[in-house]
Amino acid sequence: MTKIIVMGAAGRMGSRITALSKEYADMEIVGAVERKGHDSIGKDIGSILGIGDLGVRLSDSLGAVIDKGDVVIDFTNKEAVAGNVGIAVQHKKAMVIGTTGLSQAEIESIKEKASSIPLVLAPNMSVGVNLLLRVLKDIAIVLGNDYDVEIVEAHHRLKKDAPSGTALKMAQVIAEALKRDLNEVGVYARQGMIGERTRNEIGIQTLRAGDIVGEHTVYFGGLGERIEITHRASSRDTFARGALRAAGWIVNKEAGFYDMQDVLGLK
Ligand code: NAD
């Protein structure tokens, strides 16, 4: 039985992870944590989510509940993550982080801390997107520098970070395959008399509208033809199931930094 603590348990992702865990015979939610001041602290997380009592009260302190669990799943926000990792390290618990918007420096600091605990960090936990990341690398290598790369992502109006962690990961994978530095070639906005497109730039554009769960299209534009590869998430459950799969996988792993490609055996 994998005993799970969900950080951000009443949020959009945390609530789906908590609800879907009931379908897995080998998973149990033993802790549910929200930010201090949340209206529902002290109430049963199952009753908050309308899925029947789970016997787990919503807490506002990871430190107070962490010893009940084997693995902490974090879908909170970029400000909360570092503190949560620190507590998991102190208590030697495994971690799955789906929270996005982390800077490269913040990711490096998490990687360092993962030398003492097993930790999965992935900006997108869906099987489809992770398969796509592998395919994109292959396509970029074959097409090489003759095809212009552009990425367009669309998400719901409440999403706080832009571009999405998934779009950035796609851009990174393609940049690495083409031996480019994304810090130098990433173009995140265009307006006015900007001149011709430079050959090596990788465009990453963001749309925000309504309740779009998450859409990513990568264009490889050549002369006389274009390849477009699109992934559409129609429900958050694909990410939530991925997070639960990652939790079951990481719990018995050696300390270290892993991603979803590791979890899915795509490396
Ligand atoms: P959300 O705002 O609905 O939920 C976040 C929850 O975290 C909120 O309920 C908030 O109160 C809570 N929270 C904030 N600070 C906290 C703290 N210190 N301790 C405990 N809880 C705290 O957001 P969401 O849509 O669920 O997304 C959460 C994160 O997950 C975002 O960064 C989003 O981009 C990312 N995300 C990742 C994937 C993936 O597959 N990796 C998929 C979807 C969303």
Residues 6+ apart with CB under 8 A from 202: 149, 150, 151, 171, 174, 175, 180, 182, 185, 186, 187
In this prediction, residue 134 carries a pLDDT of 93
What per-residue confidence (pLDDT) applies to 169? Answer: 95
pLDDT of the residue at 267 = 82
More confident residue, 113 or 34: 34
156 is known as an active-site residue: no
Average pLDDT for 237-244: 97
Examine the residue annotation and report whether 91 is marked as an active-site residue of this protein. no
CATH topology of domain 127-233: Dihydrodipicolinate Reductase; domain 2 (3.30.360)
Beta strands in the chain, from DSSP E residues, in sequence order: 2-7, 27-33, 58-59, 71-74, 94-97, 118-121, 148-155, 186-187, 202-208, 214-221, 226-233, 256-258
pLDDT digits (tens, 9 = 90+) for 168-194: 999 999 999 999 999 999 999 999 999
Q: Is the pLDDT of residue 73 over 90?
A: yes
| pLDDT at residue number 165 | 94
How high is the pLDDT of residue 248?
A: 97
Residue spans of the domains in the chain: they are 2-121+236-263, 127-233
Pocket test for ligand 1, best of 39, 60, 100, 120 (most atoms within 8 A of CB): 100
C-alpha to C-alpha distance for 119 and 174, rounded to whole angstroms: 24
Please, are residues 219 and 140 in contact by the beta-carbon 8 Å criterion? Answer: no
Q: Which residues line ligand 1 (CB under 6 A)?
A: 7-8, 10-14, 33-35, 38, 75-77, 80, 98-101, 122-125, 161, 239
Topology of domain 2-121+236-263 in CATH is: Rossmann fold (3.40.50)
| Dist CA 70 CA 91 (whole Å) | 10
Q: 198 alpha carbon to ligand 1 midpoint, in Å?
A: 36
